[in-house]
Amino acid sequence: MSEESEDVLAELFAVVESRKADLPDDSYTTTLFTHEKGENYVLEKLGEEATETILAAKDGNREELAAESADLVYHLLVLLSMKDMDLDDLLAELAERRG
């Protein structure tokens, strides 16, 4: 992963954390943190986005695959934040697996 890619992920995670702290009304991220189904809602969204990613891959549409992958990663970052985990928990785990 390039440093630029890590920056994009770090900036997105920081926005997610700030939404969690402030819960602004006009934010999709807020709706995930405050949904009546609680954590289950973001888990459902992750499942949906994973399915949509798979379908896009099967279709062979690269733009669609990139878009669905972005939805998937965003919802994963929200889940990590919800569990009071940090982006570094994910990046460190990936880094440890490098040969």
Using rule CB under 6 A, residue 27 touches ligand PRT: yes
d(CA 43, CA 49): 10
* Chosen residue from 13, 65, 74, 87 binding ligand PRT by CB under 6 A: 74
What is the secondary structure of 28-93 as a DSSP string? HHHHHHS-TTTHHHHHHHHHHHHHHHHHHHHHT-HHHHHHHHHHHHHHHHHHHHHTT--HHHHHHH
Using rule CB under 6 A, residue 12 touches ligand PRT: yes
3-state secondary structure of 5: helix
Using rule CB under 6 A, residue 37 touches ligand PRT: no
Specify the stretch interacting with ligand PRT by CB under 6 A; choose among 2-10, 58-66, 70-78, 86-94.
Answer: 70-78
* Chosen residue from 3, 4, 22, 28 binding ligand PRT by CB under 6 A: 28
Binding site for ligand PRT (CB under 6 A): 12, 15, 19, 27-29, 48, 70-71, 74
